[in-house]
Structure 1
Amino acid sequence: MKFKDMPYKRVEMDEVRREYQQLMEEMKQAKSGEEQFEVHKKFYALSNHVSTQMTLAHIRFDVDLTDEFYAAEHEYYDKIEPEMQHLVQEYQKLLYNSPYRDYLEEKIGKVAFRNMELSMKAFDEKLIPLMQEENELKTKYNKLIATAKIEWEGEELNLSLMRPYLSHADRAVRRKAWEKYSAYFESVEEELDSIYDQLVKNRTEQARQMGYKNYVELGYYRMTRNSYGQEEVEKFRDQIKKYFVPFAEKLHDRRRQRLGLEKLSYIDEQVYFADGNPAPHMSPEEILKAGQQMYTEMSEETKEFFDFMMENELFDVLGRKTKRAGGYMTYLPDYNAPFIFANFNGTSGDLDVITHECGHAFQGYISGKDPIQEHRDITMETAEIHSMSMEFFADKWMELFFGDRAEDYRIMHGEDAAIFIPYGCMVDEFQHIVYENPEMTPQQRKEAWSRLEKVYKPHLDYEDNKYFGGGGFWQKQQHIFNYPFYYIDYVLAQTCAFMYKIKMSENREEAWESYLKLCRLSASKFYGEMLKEVGLEVPYEDGCIQKIVEKLDVLLDTTH
């Protein structure tokens, strides 16, 4: 069914509550594991329907933040989402404590039960008022970001539509763009400080009400870290500081030479070539058509997936002034339909939608065929492998999008992915500092960010930019406000994606079979176990990063 034809009806809380109570009663009355599993299939149907309706409302709000009907629906779901979570958890408690647990574990897997355990550690009904307040604060932040108005050459642009100018080939243009971009953030700095301060205190209070020392422990439970924890993440960041930061700095210096500069400025951070970054000079329709050709040629599975996406109009990619910033893939379970939301802006970022977000969507399409719904519940450090690896598998087809600048794109893409890794670790360490010290003032948070920049990005020079130079850059990073502790998942996944890039250079066919297997395994196994099964190493284990850097140093060397 085409997205525009998918019917929407508000999920009424009273009705859903009755249906869950009925399910829980049936679960209690069941006399065997087989009977309980039949009840569980009804849970699948109910949760799929609820999720589909809520997701439809979420997407339709994001595509136009001024739509009064869907704005009201979004506000409604912000309020009832914690109550919905409570109902699901009450149901899952019966499943978790079932006298027929062995049978059920055999059917839906050990990972599912471990995730239920973490879910119970992450939520309690008494948190609902605080969670509702948290949702309101996040919505306030997102609106502030999405509705930014920046005067540019006689018209008003939002933050997404400013991006082409931030990486413009003309240094004077991008300096002016960065000055206007940072001026907007400086104009709302106090409001951003206030929102984040309230979020930190809110989340800290949630953690304390659950009996935890601070939000870090609760945040890890909410990210469903089901097979590793803070110690492994810290070991991983230490490896990045030791091996990857010097490598990334080497890439920055190579970029500086390519740009013909004596010193890199913050305005040069997103620029890779003196004549400008390669960009797909194509209409959105042409980009989607080229994407269809690429996925048709890539494999039978990718052809089926992309044809389905196109036939059912499951893309909203045009940048609009009233559209939420950013991009994502989400899923409509009633239709086994991934949906991709993005803001095309004429940069190479448009191509990332066809590779990165389609990597997510492809895995969602594949795993949606699995009758065990829990297998779809992938944790983010796994989910991001699908997307970031697809970017590298797609490299072979870049001539379709960039013509004679395809090789420039491949160079930029490889360097950009590598340079991201220290930044992603910096975001993660910043969040650990903030939530371990929730009484920090806004100024102290900015000072902490500035200190981390010197560790992870020592080349960075903000010149006389007061806002960014004062430690404000993190306020544009939406994950810090919306999804605490998510960002390290990108870094772990990017590390695995580089393993696939290395594998491709050795045997492309074997690399693809491994990737396909990973997509099919979905969440049926634990993270480390799954990586080893498909022939990848676990990023936080000793020696992994050093080996990757040694191989990437050769693969990304453009000087020979």
Structure 2
Amino acid sequence: MTNTIERAYGWPDLEPRYLSLRERPLTAEDVPAFLREWSDVEKLLGDTDALLRRAVDRNTADEDAERAYLTFVREVRPRAQQASQELKRRLLAVEGYVPGEDEALMFRKLRADAELFREENIPLEVEATGLFNEYSKLTGGLTVDVDGETLTPPQAQARLLNPDRASRERVWRALQEASAGISGELDRIFLELLRLRRTMARNAGFANYRDYRWQQLRRFDYTPEDSASLQRAIRARVVPLVSRRREAQRVSMNVPSLRPWDLRADPLGREPIRAFEDVSELEEASSRIFARLSPRLGEQFDVMREGGLLDLASRRNKAPGAYCSAFPTRGVPFLHGNFVGTARDASVLFHEAGHAFHVFASARPEVLVFARHPGAEFAEVASQSMELLTLPFLGRAEGGLFDEADLPRVREEQLDSIVTFLPFAAVLDRFQHWVYAEAPEDVRVEDLDEMWLGLMREYHPHVDYSGLEHFVRKGWQYLHLYGYPLYYLDYAIAWLGALQVWRGALEDREAALERYLYALSLGGTRSLTQLFEAAGARLAFDEGHVGALMDFLRAQYDA
């Protein structure tokens, strides 16, 4: 890697660049050069953010890494936000400049950001970042004691695939008990976050945080009412499909009801599919899979492998989850994961690699950093489509990870992961709409618990939670709620897009892949509706649209 990625930039490095942009004359003729130089400064800021966050997430117990990141959050980022706001005001006040096609949406986003900005919110955002860091430390340091072994949560969760039901129950309960040990602290952190977020919304003139966050996320193509429509469509058209499949699973398992520890187990009692023994095997096979799909994608994945841009193994004190971040100066991604060898781990890597390919495709030198990111919804189309586009290349005969005899099961589990995810996405989204727009000012933790439990029962009627309510009601203590508010239904919207991309690939793989890669290359230069169209999909939220895609999925189970 180059020094661009290895070096963290402090405020003394960045301030002169912002000052130079602030003080120079700015006319319509000057705008292109002004934007280019400003974009370059923001890239350095983005590199520093990604570098320092990566260090914290690799080891949440590293006090030096935490100190460096929090110094950036408290001292550098707020000053950069203030400086950027001044530059936005200067730019938007220029008379006579007409943005080109690739810049029009960028200017709309910059204008929305400028309108939303309040200086008094900067320290609140710093405080919120510190609270999320507390969440990451608590959850990243969590261990689970199972049958005399101390495991990380991902390692324990892998044992929920065990054919032995009693063993699964012990693991599930151990996971819940471990989480319960920190739930009081997580309650406190979230209530503090909620207070901060409500204050930020009021400071900006909004009645509630949901509407404030909507503009902050630049959701120009759909409304909260559209989200509610999709929640209802999932309840009407997806939940019955999941319930039918879960009932078939219950019958196959010969149990009176499905308990939470049954949901990931094979209905026929087969041992879980072991996708790989260590992450190097996963990386090597993934390189071959991507190369078979597209030589260009294979080369890009190898750039990540050879450049130290992958950190995939699960270990203690590593931040939970999986994600892709970007180093914008070089236009390269970084993948963080917690993989332990399951088949689902492989599809999660393909998912995150889809984000990475999006970074590569959109980070063309001529595209300003402000116009690279398309928004969460289409970013997830890029990633989720990759979970499906790789399906034909997963067998060992193709250089993949799985024995040919296991491929039908891998495919079925992939489809199940989609249909079972959608109701959970609706639960988390509905919960957040309630928290941020409907819940009373003095909402209590007990109210949060009860709301979550009621939604889980509504959207998961096929699961028997009796006697487990004290565990289930704390399920809202979820990563996205703490660090990425109101970012979750994006995944459901994206699945509707990804299924359409896959449907096109089943008809003509090369044409669908060409559309997909072209849509990725557009970055954030087009609206969400236009990006869906470029990828060969339609953006819609109604029950008819969702139902048609569920009919398509049902047909794929039998294909």
TM-score by length of 2: 0.94
Aligned to 1:188, the other structure's residue is in SS state: helix
Contact 1:186 1:467 in 2 (8 A): no
From 15, 18, 29, give the equivalent of 1:20.
18
Shift of 1:6: 6.1
2:439 is equivalent to residue 445 of structure 1: no
Which whole-Å CA distance do the structure 2 matches of 1:175 and 1:542 have between them?
Answer: 36
Residues 135/354 of structure 1: CA separation in 2 closer, same or farther (3 Å cut): closer
Matches within 5 A, 1:457-496: 457-469=460-472, 471-475=473-477, 477-496=478-497
Aligned-pair Cα RMSD in Å: 1.9
Equivalence for 2:176: 182
Contact 2:381 2:494 in 1 (8 A): yes
Shift of 1:423: 0.8
Render the CA deviation track for 1:106-139: whole Å, top value 9, x for unaligned: 1642211121122224331111221121111111
Shift of 1:427: 0.3
Identity in percent: 24
Contact 2:230 2:542 in 1 (8 A): yes
2:406 is equivalent to residue 402 of structure 1: no
Equivalence for 2:85: 89
Shift of 1:430: 0.2
Matches within 5 A, 1:148-297: 148-273=142-267, 274-297=269-292
Shift of 1:86: 2.6
2:101 is equivalent to residue 100 of structure 1: no
Amino acid at match of 2:489: I
Contact 1:398 1:406 in 2 (8 A): yes
Contact 2:276 2:282 in 1 (8 A): no
Equivalence for 2:459: 456
Residues 117/541 of structure 1: CA separation in 2 closer, same or farther (3 Å cut): farther
Render the CA deviation track for 1:204-257: whole Å, top value 9, x for unaligned: 111111111110111112222122221221122222222122122222223333
2:69 is equivalent to residue 64 of structure 1: no
Which whole-Å CA distance do the structure 1 matches of 2:385 and 2:462 have between them?
Answer: 28
Render the CA deviation track for 1:431-482: whole Å, top value 9, x for unaligned: 011112142111011111111112211112223224324x11121x200111
Equivalence for 1:427: 428
Query: Which segment is superposed worse, 169-178 or 536-545?
Result: 536-545
Shift of 1:15: 4.2
Shift of 1:315: 0.6
From 315, 330, 342, give the equivalent of 1:347.
342
Render the CA deviation track for 1:10-51: whole Å, top value 9, x for unaligned: 43224423321211222xx13433x22112111122111121
Contact 1:496 1:539 in 2 (8 A): no
Render the CA deviation track for 1:146-182: whole Å, top value 9, x for unaligned: 1112223434323223221233222122111111110
Aligned to 2:341, the other structure's residue is in SS state: coil
Shift of 1:416: 1.1
Aligned to 2:291, the other structure's residue is in SS state: helix
Contact 1:114 1:226 in 2 (8 A): no
Which whole-Å CA distance do the structure 2 matches of 1:396 and 1:282 have between them?
Answer: 22
Amino acid at match of 1:495: L
Which whole-Å CA distance do the structure 2 matches of 1:186 and 1:466 have between them?
Answer: 13
Shift of 1:490: 0.6
Shift of 1:350: 2.4
Amino acid at match of 1:509: E
Which whole-Å CA distance do the structure 2 matches of 1:261 and 1:82 have between them?
Answer: 56
Render the CA deviation track for 1:488-547: whole Å, top value 9, x for unaligned: 101100111111222223222222122112111221111112212332111325631121
Query: Which segment is superposed worse, 276-285 or 372-381?
Result: 276-285
Shift of 1:7: 5.7
Query: Which segment is superposed worse, 82-91 or 306-315?
Result: 82-91
Contact 1:65 1:322 in 2 (8 A): yes
Amino acid at match of 1:463: S
Matches within 5 A, 1:314-353: 314-353=309-348
Which whole-Å CA distance do the structure 2 matches of 1:100 and 1:276 have between them?
Answer: 67
Shift of 1:89: 2.4
Aligned to 2:334, the other structure's residue is in SS state: strand
Amino acid at match of 2:256: E
Residues 276/77 of structure 1: CA separation in 2 closer, same or farther (3 Å cut): farther
Which whole-Å CA distance do the structure 2 matches of 1:171 and 1:87 have between them?
Answer: 58
Aligned to 1:473, the other structure's residue is in SS state: coil
Residues 75/271 of structure 1: CA separation in 2 closer, same or farther (3 Å cut): same
Query: Which segment is superposed worse, 449-458 or 256-265?
Result: 256-265
Query: Which segment is superposed worse, 41-50 or 248-257?
Result: 248-257
2:547 is equivalent to residue 546 of structure 1: yes
Equivalence for 1:371: 366
Equivalence for 2:111: 117
Which whole-Å CA distance do the structure 1 matches of 2:382 and 2:242 have between them?
Answer: 23
Which whole-Å CA distance do the structure 1 matches of 2:505 and 2:176 have between them?
Answer: 40
Contact 2:140 2:319 in 1 (8 A): yes
Which whole-Å CA distance do the structure 2 matches of 1:188 and 1:21 have between them?
Answer: 45
Shift of 1:69: 2.1
Aligned to 1:322, the other structure's residue is in SS state: coil
Contact 1:462 1:468 in 2 (8 A): no
Shift of 1:64: 1.3
Matches within 5 A, 1:118-157: 118-157=112-151
Aligned residues: 549
Equivalence for 1:529: 530
Residues 263/345 of structure 1: CA separation in 2 closer, same or farther (3 Å cut): same
Aligned to 1:339, the other structure's residue is in SS state: strand
Which whole-Å CA distance do the structure 1 matches of 2:114 and 2:4 have between them?
Answer: 33
Contact 1:279 1:346 in 2 (8 A): yes
Amino acid at match of 1:539: A
Amino acid at match of 1:401: L
Which whole-Å CA distance do the structure 1 matches of 2:287 and 2:323 have between them?
Answer: 19
Contact 1:331 1:339 in 2 (8 A): yes
Contact 2:163 2:270 in 1 (8 A): yes
Aligned to 2:187, the other structure's residue is in SS state: helix
Which whole-Å CA distance do the structure 2 matches of 1:7 and 1:215 have between them?
Answer: 35
Which whole-Å CA distance do the structure 2 matches of 1:216 and 1:95 have between them?
Answer: 28
Residues 171/6 of structure 1: CA separation in 2 closer, same or farther (3 Å cut): farther
Equivalence for 1:415: 416
Render the CA deviation track for 1:374-420: whole Å, top value 9, x for unaligned: 33122000100000000000111121212131221110011111110
Contact 1:284 1:318 in 2 (8 A): yes
Contact 1:130 1:202 in 2 (8 A): yes
Amino acid at match of 1:494: W
Amino acid at match of 2:517: L
Shift of 1:357: 0.6
Equivalence for 2:516: 515
Aligned to 1:335, the other structure's residue is in SS state: coil
Equivalence for 2:50: 55
Which whole-Å CA distance do the structure 2 matches of 1:18 and 1:313 have between them?
Answer: 31
Query: Which segment is superposed worse, 547-556 or 257-266?
Result: 257-266
Shift of 1:425: 1.1
